[in-house]
Amino acid sequence: MIDLSGFDHNDAANPNNNIFGLPFTEEDADLVILPVPWEVTVSYKAGTARAPEHIFRASLQVELFDNDTNDIWRRGIYMRSMDRKILLKSDYLRKEAELYINYIAQDENVNDNKFMCKTLKEVNEGSVFMNNWVYEQTSELLNRGKLVGLLGGDHSTPLGFFKAIGEKHGSFGILQIDAHFDLRESYEGFKYSHASVMYNALKEIPQLDKLVQVGIRDYGDNEWKIVCDSEFKVISYFDRELKDRQYEGQSWKEIAEEIVNHLPEKVYLSFDIDGLDPKLCPNTGTPVMGGLESEQVFYILRKIIQSGRKLIGFDLNEVGVSSTEWDENVGARILYKLCNLLLASNPKAEV
């Protein structure tokens, strides 16, 4: 157990410490954040692969007191160093993916071009590598009794974590905060695209019992058909309908409790930051007008805990980077709240 007697949590954060200026090692911490600097299949704006290091720097400005959880940070939060090999592989394959995307945008036949066939194969194989790496990293942490949060990168990154969560916890549900369904069978030829993560989760994670999506407002009709044909395994809350219900007098409390009631006992949070109003995340990969306020999401999470359900892990993805550092500051504060709520949902004796 680390001695915190000499640590002044009200003082300026020490940049030589770990995330949020906390003095924990991985061994000391109850919760470990795994950064995954990967954005190979992004289809609009890039930059999210650098989000973990930008969020780390911004986290030094976050006040540690949280009126939801008081000083729960004392149980320990630690972020692993970013794996540069993963980042370099992402950078290389991203350039390959861009060439491929530009090629198919001209209505060219991929089968007529051996180089493009090879490029597509390399990108898909790279995504399998990343999925397996995330699975191995998160499995090892979970098996050591750690709570785990994943920090992307694009929204393709948590699939391996879903697999590890299912093996550790058995049946569970995902609460997805997102502007998009992410239910495409593949996108632009990429099987493990950021736009396909929930499709792949439904196909590949047998322990996944329920997917509840909140904030959806940009999607294709083929994805909507998957929702309609899911026999209520997938429940989607559209941004427009959420707002209509509030305009007509329904409280967020009523809506949040309804959302929570669809979830099983164990809940994993998959948080694509573009689910929020883009004023909070203007440099995310695919911003869409509309969206949630951060406090609306935190309210749902508090309701999950109050209901007796348990948060078992989370990912935070698609945080952009910018010269103003606004996105990464928002991302750092959301990350801190998610860490605290995950700790609060798992009392020390149960970790």
Angle, helix 114-143 to helix 159-169, in steps of 10 degrees: 30
Q: Which residue has the tokens 């003082």?
A: 11
Listed in sequence order, the residues at least 6 apart from 27 whose beta carbon sits closer than 8 Å to its beta carbon are none
Specify the fold of 19-350.
Answer: Arginase; Chain A (3.40.800)
Lowest mean pLDDT among 181-185, 248-252, 321-325: 321-325
DSSP string of 251-301, one letter each residue: -HHHHHHHHHHTS-SEEEEEEEGGGB-TTS-TTSSS--SS-B-HHHHHHHH
**Pairing label, strands 77-79, 31-36:** parallel
How far is Cα 87 from Cα 93, in angstroms, rounded to an integer? Answer: 10
pLDDT at residue 107 in the model: 82
What pLDDT is stored for residue 1 in this prediction? 72
As given in the structure block, the two tokens for residue 222 are 């083929």
Residue (of 164, 152, 94, 158) closest to 126 by Cα position? 94
Query: What per-residue confidence (pLDDT) applies to 304?
Result: 98
- The two structure tokens encoding residue 276: 């929020």
Question: Residue 237: enclosing H or E segment and its boundaries?
Answer: strand 234-238
Q: Decide if 155 contacts 272 (C-beta within 8 A).
A: yes
Pick the range with the lowest mean pLDDT from 101-110, 208-217, 250-259, 331-340: 101-110
Average pLDDT score over residue span 141-155: 97
* Nearest-angstrom CA–CA distance, 94 and 140: 28
Residues of the chain with pLDDT > 70, as a percent, come to 99
pLDDT at 342 over 90: yes
- SS in 3 state form for 94-111? HHHHHHHHHHHCCCCCHH
C-beta separation of 77 from 348 below 8 A? no
Consecutive H or E run containing 233: none
Q: Are strands 172-177 and 208-216 parallel, antiparallel or unpaired?
A: parallel
Supply the DSSP symbol for 171.
S
| Amino acid 188: pLDDT | 87
Parse the chain into domains and list their residue ranges. Answer: 19-350
In angstroms, the CA 321 to CA 281 distance is: 9
Nearby residues of 73 by Cβ (< 8 Å), 6 or more positions away: 9, 20, 22, 64, 66, 339, 340, 343
What would the mean pLDDT of 96-117 be, rounded to a whole number?
87
Cβ(162)–Cβ(174) under 8 Å? yes
Round to whole Å and give the CA distance between 23 and 8: 10
- The model's pTM: 0.96
| 95 contacts: CB under 8 Å, gap ≥ 6 | none
Residue 19 CA, chain-centre distance (Å), reads 18
Query: Rounded mean pLDDT of the chain?
Result: 95
> Given this model, what pLDDT does residue 351 score?
42
The token pair that represents 277 in the structure block: 């109003």
Q: What is the pLDDT of residues 5-61, one digit of tens each?
A: 899 999 999 999 999 999 999 999 999 999 999 999 987 788 999 999 999 999 999
Calculate Rg over the CA atoms of the chain. 20
pLDDT of residue 43: 76
Give mean pLDDT, residues 86-109: 91
At residue 347, the pLDDT reads 94
Going from the C-alpha of 41 to that of each of 25, 85, 130, the distances in angstroms are 33, 17, 12
Q: CB 71: neighbour CB atoms within 10 A?
A: 12
**Type of residue numbered 215:** G
- The per-residue b/e assignment along 281-305, b for 16 or more CB within 10 angstroms, e otherwise, is bebbbbbbebbbebebbbbbbbbbb
**Tokens 């879903």, located at residue:** 162
Top-confidence residue, 284 or 349: 284
- Asked whether 347 and 305 are in contact (CB, 8 A), the reply is no
Task: Evaluate if residue 84 carries a pLDDT over 80.
Answer: yes
